Amino acid sequence: MAKRSSEASSTDIDMTPMIDMTFQLITFFMFVMNFSEAEQDDRVQLPMSQLAKPIDGPVEKPITLQLTSDGSVIYAGEMVGLRDVGGYLDREKSVLMEAGKEPKAATVIVRADGRAKTGEVQEVIKICQEKGFEKFALRAQYDEGR
């Protein structure tokens, strides 16, 4: 079909190392991938703290509630109103009860924006307390600082 250039053979590149590199890259990305983005929403900018070192293992029985700077609550990736949080917590509570656990065994992870009003954070915590949740984890961004 096309005219064969006579210099073709001398410019042959050995593709093997390139493909090896590509496979290395893929493997790296596969292990680094983290698909649980819903619980780390970009709309919430956590306050920084030098003491907020990441813990070794996952939190047992976590329920994540996120609070934006303007006071809306994000639950499971969706923006909900403060009044609806109680309903979602009831659902979580019934799931826990069916698994034979009390709400006080669950940890509510509070990811509140640093610019949010403290009173609003306290109100969210109060709603959780009224549903029977006792353990709270206030999440902050680790500040490597200094």
Partner 1 sequence: MTPMIDVVFQLISFFMFSLKVVSPEGDFDIRMPLGKSASTVVDDQQVPPVRVKLSASPDGGLAGITMNGNPVADFNELQKKLVSLVGNARGPDSLADKTEVEFDCDYALKYANVVRAITAVSGTVQDGQIVELIKKIKFTPPKGGG
Binding residues with partner 1: total (CB under 8 A): 55
Contact call for residue 94 and partner 1 (CB under 8 A): no
* Cα–Cα separations (whole angstroms), residue 109 to 48, 59, 139: 16, 9, 7
Q: Which is nearer to partner 1, 44 or 75 (CB)?
A: 44
CA within 13 Å, CB half, 81: 2
139 sits near partner 1 (criterion: CB under 8 A): yes
Q: Which of residues 26-55 bind partner 1 (CB under 8 A)?
A: 26, 29-30, 32-34, 37, 40, 46-55
Asked if 101 is part of the footprint of partner 1 (rule: CB under 8 A), the reply reads no
Token couple for 47: 């306050």
Q: How far is the CB of 60 from partner 1 (least distance, A)?
A: 12
| CA dist., res. 133 & res. 76, Å (int) | 18
Among 38, 72, 71, 40, smallest CA distance to 54 is for 40
Q: Which of 37, 117, 134 is nearest to 82 (CA)?
A: 117
93 binds partner 1 (CB under 8 A): no
Q: Does residue 140 belong to the site contacting partner 1 (CB under 8 A)?
A: yes
Task: Kindly state whether residue 105 participates in binding partner 1, applying the rule CB under 8 A.
Answer: no
**Of the candidates 65, 71, 68, 72, which has an alpha carbon nearest to the alpha carbon of residue 38?**
65
Binding residues (CB under 8 A) for partner 1: these are: 15, 18-19, 22-23, 25-26, 29-30, 32-34, 37, 40, 46-55, 59, 67, 104, 107, 109, 111-123, 125-126, 129-130, 134-142
